Amino acid sequence: MSARHHVIVGAGLAGALLALLLARRGHRVDVFERRPDQRIRGYEGGRSINLALARRGLAVLEAAGLGDAVLRRAVAMRGRQVHPLGGPEAFLPYGRSDAECIWSVHRGRLNHLLLDAAEAAGARLHFHHRLGLVDFDARRAEIIDDRDRHARWIDFDALLGADGAGSALRNAMQGHADLHPEITPLDHGYKELRSPRTPRAVSASSGMPCTSGPAAASC
């Protein structure tokens, strides 16, 4: 029996991890991402806010064999420091011990790690490519190369969408069956602040170790 051909739209965190897991199971995997390869160009601004990785997220990374590699790139966040108006500061731990913490990890570096692992497992990554039309009955998808606008059709056994809020696959599915999607754009943004990395220090108010730098402070 030949391996099933899985086509994944989107090479972000979800798409790269899915490609890794499927390729390790022996499936043929092609991943199509409309943006350039971020490992070469660099992670695009505006999407680099750190992830707060909890036990559930770490568990799937461990199942993929990347748990230790991720933790080496992460900063433990053991709780939050509360600064009330007119009152004393208080440290509120996330768990009953330091083992019950969440981890701050750079989204871009994690994505690079997953892309490298997926490619090493045999998944084929195609950048500057986006999904066009889909023939669900024939199990064929139109893939467009944005560099020259060339379009080609490919066959698939499964077509998997991991292409975010403006999903091209969801839009194609909506034309095939009413999915009743509810999309509510946010009317605000955020500011990203970076500070130089400094040596580990001890918070005077809580006595807890804290680290500053590209990863969020953990004090």
The tens digit of pLDDT for each residue in 123-159 reads 999 999 999 999 999 999 999 999 999 999 999 999 9
What is the DSSP annotation of 71-106? Answer: HTTEEEE-EEEE--TTS--EEEESSSSTTS-EEEE-
| Counts for the chain of helices (H) and strands (E), in that order | 6, 14
Least confident range from 3-12, 22-31, 174-183: namely: 174-183
Query: Average pLDDT of 11-36?
Result: 96
Give the C-alpha separation, 158 to 8, whole Å. Answer: 8
Q: Which domains does the chain have, with CATH numbers?
A: 1-48+107-179 (3.50.50.60), 51-105 (no CATH)
Say whether 170 sits in a helix, a strand or coil.
helix
Give per-residue pLDDT as tens, 87-120: 899 999 988 887 789 999 999 999 999 999 999 9
Cα 142 from chain centre? 25
